[in-house]
Amino acid sequence: MACRPIGYIRCRFAQPPGTPIQTIAAPKEIARLELLPAYSAGLRDVESFEYLILITHFHLCAQERLEVTPFLDVQSHGVFATRAPARPNRLGLSIVRLLRLDELTLHFAGTDRVDGTPVLDIKPYVPRFDVRDTQRIGWFAGRLEDLACARADDRMV
Amino acid sequence: MACRPIGYIRCRFAQPPGTPIQTIAAPKEIARLELLPAYSAGLRDVESFEYLILITHFHLCAQERLEVTPFLDVQSHGVFATRAPARPNRLGLSIVRLLRLDELTLHFAGTDRVDGTPVLDIKPYVPRFDVRDTQRIGWFAGRLEDLACARADDRMV
């Protein structure tokens, strides 16, 4: 199947090294999504949601790997047990807080993507659909203390 | 960009009409994801997570629309303010509860997809990354009481 961008992320991170690795770790980083004009009708009512789920393309990640050492660990894992960019189809998921909509531009807080990242979809975040409670988080247990300080490096490029 | 399936969902729903519309509404529906052998190395450590996020392709949805009347409403909305299948790039997001991994087959509870749905990615669900608390859920407010009984029909095909 072919996917085409519906828009692009604009933010202050030009390259992966130094970029936050989850939006929850960078709530004060302001960025924007510039939607392509052809999709403008799809934005109606989007402003009535606080959080949006963006599906993005990890376009700078040239190589897909099945085993990877993620940014938060020193051990390798199967890529489907990680959120690493170097994954088959290179699809990313970012939950962002919508600040305002200005014609085709969605201003949001919390970014973990680099400038120019293609966006493939926007979905409204609905807690009833999207919240799960679990302690079974595999290797992430004990690896989340440093999340606020953790940044990407060039290992996925 | 080109996406290719990493596997396929197998479940008892052959067609959209009658299929649950969110996994949270169908926690007892057991299904499986049959991964293609080429991706088996990516499954290492996946069993240590309770919930997985599947990114899927709404392959039966022939037409993409920018304004759509979703299954839970009688009014139309911009498609990016809905979770409807008839969206640009037709990417779906399903959070499922992993029951067990049997070689290349992931058995899971909670399905809102039809049999044969192509899966494009598997991500581990990590509450620290994926949980947000908000009351700002737009038109969904007041439309979630009947979620457990709601089922898809043929409007998106």
Q: Tens digit of pLDDT for each residue in A26-59?
A: 999 999 999 999 999 999 999 999 999 999 999 9
Compute the distance between CA of residue B68 and CA of residue B156 in angstroms, rounded to an integer: 9
Place of tokens 């992993």: B98
Chain A residues touching B22 at Cβ < 8 A: 128-129
* pLDDT of the residue at B72: 93
Place of tokens 């072919």: A2
**Distance set, CA A119 to CA A33, A56, B5, B33, B89 (Å):** 8, 4, 19, 26, 10
**In this predicted model, what pLDDT tens digit does every residue of A88-111 receive, in sequence order?**
999 999 999 999 999 999 999 999
Joined together, the tokens standing for residue A60 give 């700078």
**In this predicted model, what pLDDT tens digit does every residue of B49-100 receive, in sequence order?**
999 999 999 999 988 999 999 999 999 999 999 999 999 999 999 999 999 9
Joined together, the tokens standing for residue B8 give 């396929």
**Distance set, CA B133 to CA A133, A141, B87, B130 (Å):** 13, 22, 25, 10
* pLDDT of the residue at A146: 85
pTM as predicted: 0.97
Q: What is the mean pLDDT of residues A2-27?
A: 95
Stretch 52-111 of chain B: residues touching chain A, C-beta under 8 Å: 52-53, 55, 57, 59, 66-67, 77-83, 87-91, 93, 95
How many other β-carbons are positioned within 10 Å of the β-carbon of residue B17?
Answer: 13
* Structural domains of chain A, with CATH: 7-140 (2.40.30.70)
Contact status, residue B27 vs residue B109, Cβ threshold 8 Å: yes
pLDDT at A148 exceeding the cut of 90: no
Selecting from A57, A93, A134 the residue whose C-beta is nearest the C-beta of B1 gives: A57
Contact status, residue A96 vs residue A54, Cβ threshold 8 Å: yes
Helical H runs in chain B? 127-130
**In this predicted model, what pLDDT tens digit does every residue of A114-124 receive, in sequence order?**
999 999 999 99
